A and B are shown apart, each in its own frame.
Chain A
Amino acid sequence: GDSVTQMEGPVTLSEEAFLTINCTYTATGYPSLFWYVQYPGEGLQLLLKATKADDKGSNKGFEATYRKETTSFHLEKGSVQVSDSAVYFCALLRSGGYNKLIFGAGTRLAVHP
């Protein structure tokens, strides 16, 4: 069945460092792909998405490119801030009668000043 695999955390970075969080997926067809962010004590916020191969989603300095050949959707940011500390979830959307999100296990990011 469909699945999403993310790199294990926690990822610990200094402020202004470069961030990469790896995400790969297994799915039939070409599902839409998403990154969600969860701040402490809160629900999930949609960060960015891509709906087809080679699409690049971007928001708030974060980017991810839908790579069909490597079945990947890695999240990147050029310069992280302390306020980016959160848990990041990669997800795919399985459609067909109804839409359901299939999530990875999440990657915790801690950014220190």
Chain B
Amino acid sequence: ETGVTQSPTHLIKTRGQQVTLRCSSQSGHNTVSWYQQALGQGPQFIFQYYREEENGRGNFPPRFSGLQFPNYSSELNVNALELDDSALYLCASSLGGLAGDEQYFGPGTRLTVT
């Protein structure tokens, strides 16, 4: 069974640029959630995708957007990067519906905005 993978591992961007982060979900999982973890804090929910549709969103501005593909992999896009966007971005996959209470996390992408 393949676990959750994310790419790239690290990324450095300049304020105002755009970035795309990628996630491959665990085999058999159809739901992907994205979280932002600032240094020294717990992860914060950004949004969730289920069967290629966004079905839930946290308190993040519209410049945070995403996609889910037919193979259930996912992308997180962030436009107009700000310094405060520097964080570890975590992707988690799960089963949809009532069986989806366990979320399995990837290793994360460390984004630094300068």
Contacts and interface: CB of A to CB of B under 8 A. Distances in A.
Contact of B48 (A49, A98, A105, A106): A98
B104 A46 contact: yes
A100 B31 CA distance: 11
Nearest to A103: B42
Interface stretch (B13-21, B77-85, B95-103): B95-103
Interface string B89-114: 01010100000111111111000000
A49 B101 CA distance: 10
Question: Interface extent on B, as a size class?
Answer: 20 to 34
Interface residues of A, number: 24
A97 B101 CA distance: 12
Given A43-B90, A46-B104, A51-B101, A100 B42 contact: no
Contacts, number: 65
B41 A100 contact: no
A102 interface: yes
B3 to A, nearest CB: 10
Contact of B105 (A44, A51, A105, A106): A44
Nearest to A104: B42
Interface string B18-43: 00000000000001010100001111
18 contacts: A44-B43, A44-B105, A45-B105, A49-B101, A89-B42, A89-B43, A97-B56, A98-B56, A99-B33, A99-B100, A99-B103, A101-B33, A101-B45, A101-B92, A103-B44, A105-B40, A105-B42, A106-B41
